[in-house]
Amino acid sequence: MKKINLKLSFLLLSLTILLSACGKSAEVPSVVTPAVSVQARSVADSREIKQELEYPAIVAASTEAKLIAKSSGTLSGADFTVGQTVSVGQSLAKIDEIGSAGFNAGGVNSNQVKQAIIATEQAQASYLLARSNYDNMLVSSAKDLRQAEIARDQAAKGQSNFDISASESLKSAELAYETAKIAAEQARLTMVNREKQLTQSVGDSRDNADLAASTAANTVSSVLTGINNLAGFDNNNVISISYRANLGALESSSYNQSDNAYQAAKDHYDQYLKQSFSDVDVRIQSVLAMVEKTKLLADAAKYLFDKSIPSSNLPQSSAVGVSLTGLQSAASGYQAQLNALLAQVHGAEQALANVALNNDGTSDTLKQSYELAKKQEASAAQNLNNLKAGNNSQQDQAGFGVNLAQNQYENLQVKINSQIFAAKMQADTAQLQYNNASLSLQSLYDIHSLVSPIAGVVTQKLASNGDTVSAGQIVAIVSQTDSLKIKFFVEAEYILDMKLGKSVQVLSAEGKSYNGLISSVSAQADNATKRFQIEVQLDGEEKPLLGTVVNVKISLSKSVDIGAGSVIVPLSSIEIGQNGNYLFLAENNIAKKVPVELQNVLGEMAQVKFQAADEALIIIGGNKFLHDGDSVEITK
């Protein structure tokens, strides 16, 4: 291509010089190379495989039945035609034994059938006689059994009358006993449930009291620390207070009173921490005393700060740092906090006392109710037992007469049943022999008849009247044409892509298009072709003709897990040579030849690796006569 361009340029240059030498001016014609039409796809879209597969297929019925000869012989009565509609069980032809001279009403020439008819008639006569004897036995035995039944019923009626009167009184006694039992059980459950509730209530109140004690101890500790930080009362205190001289300056005894109150509260708190309380009541009392002493400390501290004077070390008020107003506010806060805490501890103490009182009273009341209910239950049980004992004696006397009549009735019933059983056995045996003879006759009819197992249309007739057929030979095929399917075969490499429910397009020879879904995928390949059978169910009411050949188009698109820089392209788009492998990119409508690394061949596709941006366009079609630097026009 480059050599042709050089020759053309030299020719144009010579022509220009010649025209100039002649003193004439001329324009050099420009040569425009037409753009090559190509197909392209981006690098990003090339990371998945897109294929269009097309297979020839046959249109078949979804349901069809093959009429197979069950015996060898000559075909007769096969007057059906292709396209004829048949029903379930319809006989379409007969198979006569070759050389048979016998004839029967069924229309089958067979000596075996004639002998089977005679045997069936004899078995039927024997069965009718045995059945008549059995029916006569049933009539006579029913009369004898009825007389014994009347005697038995009279005895049973006398007993029943007594049972009715005794039953009413017994039901009343049982009802009273059951009511007493239920009442006792309800009283017991009420007592048990209430005891559980009382136990839970005691536990909850003790837990609350214990929590209140812990909260109070923590609050006391916080107040002691806070007041000590403000006034420095602790003997081992390392806190230096510059305004010590200001505290209680208006009343000197106020500081000593506050100091003594602090020591008393601090000593009680220290003793509290060292104690191990076995009962929450004792702990509450100790905490209550500790809170009261701490409350006295807060009151004394408030009084001390009220009797203090301001100075440079302790200004009356200050935005930052310690001030006299701040000390007084802190003491007031401690007073309010301890007042609330004191009320909380008193509440826990009162709750413990209330729960104990309520539990004791409730438990005693429920126990008394339960004991009373148990006594009532025992009294009702005694009344019931006395009534049962009196009724049993009278029932035994009435029952003796009933048992005697029942035994006589049962003995007669056993005798009659044995006679009936013998007659029934004879009748059943004769019926079984008759059924076997009928079945044998029907079997002979069946093996000499061709019967359609489904309702449909005859789509193939493979034998005619007078033809000799052998056992196992297909004589005709009946299909249900209202439901069609498309059958075709695919290679093993595509079998995993043939998913149930996948959409396909079916094209007839006339150019009509039908939509369908894959409805069946064979699990095994055909032995000869090594391909797998696929079946398609068509959508819509319009369908191609049964038995015609169509084409099935399947679109495949699946992502491939490949490494960075790798893409999937058609094998035909790669230029393979001794010096390396190349493909073309389309950059600004100019073909650019780039080297690639061929990694894998996937049928008609190939996996290659090269460096390019995701939006770069790979030329995948029309590259057969393409050269590096050619103008290209991208088409679909």
The DSSP line for 174-224 is HHHHHHHHHHHHHHHHHHHHHHHHHHHHHHHHHHHHHHHHHHHHHHHHHHH
Extract the tokens encoding 465: 């009247």
Of the candidates 558, 556, 580, 569, the residue with the CA atom closest to the CA atom of residue 612: 569
pLDDT in tens, 92-147: 888 877 666 554 555 566 666 677 789 888 999 998 999 888 898 888 888 888 88
Mean pLDDT of the chain: 84
Answer yes or no: same fold for 35-58+474-635 and 70-110+448-469. no
Q: What is the distance between the alpha carbons of residues 585 and 205, in angstroms, rounded to a whole number?
A: 86
Q: pLDDT tier at 457 (50, 70, 90 boundaries)?
A: confident
The pLDDT, as a whole number, for residue 22 is: 44
The pLDDT, as a whole number, for residue 9 is: 44
Burial class (CB within 10 angstroms; exposed 0-12, middle 13-18, buried 19+) of 578: exposed
Q: What is the distance between the alpha carbons of residues 368 and 361, in angstroms, rounded to a whole number?
A: 11
The pLDDT, as a whole number, for residue 588 is: 92
Of the candidates 319, 326, 338, the residue with the CA atom closest to the CA atom of residue 230: 326
Cβ atoms 323, 317 nearer than 8 A: yes
Cβ atoms 616, 585 nearer than 8 A: yes
Extract the tokens encoding 405: 């009549």
In this structure, are strands 36-42 and 632-635 parallel, antiparallel, or unpaired?
Answer: parallel
Supply φ then ψ for residue 470, to 5 degrees: -115, 160
pLDDT in tens, 245-266: 899 889 989 999 999 999 999 9
Candidates 3.90.1710.10, 3.40.50.150, 3.40.710.10, 2.40.30.170; correct CATH number of 35-58+474-635?
2.40.30.170
pLDDT in tens, 379-417: 999 888 988 888 887 778 878 888 888 888 888 888 888
Q: Where are the domains of the chain?
A: 1-31, 35-58+474-635, 70-110+448-469, 111-447
Burial class (CB within 10 angstroms; exposed 0-12, middle 13-18, buried 19+) of 440: middle
Model confidence at 617: pLDDT above 50: yes
Q: pLDDT tier at 558 (50, 70, 90 boundaries)?
A: low
Model confidence at 1: pLDDT above 50: no
Q: What would the mean pLDDT of 586-592 be, rounded to a whole number?
A: 93
Supply φ then ψ for residue 506, to 5 degrees: -110, 125
Extract the tokens encoding 146: 């009825």
Q: What is the distance between the alpha carbons of residues 157 and 401, in angstroms, rounded to a whole number?
A: 11
Question: Of residues 29 and 211, which shows the higher confidence score?
Answer: 211
Q: Specify the range with the lowest mean pLDDT, choosing from 363-377, 552-566, 577-591.
A: 552-566
DSSP state of 319: S
Q: Which CATH class is domain 70-110+448-469?
A: mainly beta
Q: What is the distance between the alpha carbons of residues 134 and 420, in angstroms, rounded to a whole number?
A: 7
Q: What is the distance between the alpha carbons of residues 463 and 154, in angstroms, rounded to a whole number?
A: 78
Which helix (H) or strand (E) element contains residue 458? strand 456-461
Output the CA torsion 626→630→631→636 (10° steps): 20
DSSP state of 316: S
User: DSSP alpha helices (H): ranges in 232-320?
Assistant: 253-274, 280-306
pLDDT in tens, 164-219: 888 888 888 899 989 998 998 988 898 888 778 777 877 888 888 889 999 999 99
Cβ atoms 612, 564 nearer than 8 A: no
- Residues with Cβ within 8 Å of residue 260, at least 6 apart in sequence: none
The pLDDT, as a whole number, for residue 413 is: 86
- Residues with Cβ within 8 Å of residue 631, at least 6 apart in sequence: 33, 34, 35, 36, 589, 590, 591
Q: What is the distance between the alpha carbons of residues 51 and 494, in angstroms, rounded to a whole number?
A: 11
Q: pLDDT tier at 163 (50, 70, 90 boundaries)?
A: confident
Q: Which residues share a beta bridge with 633?
A: 37
Place of tokens 């004992």: 389
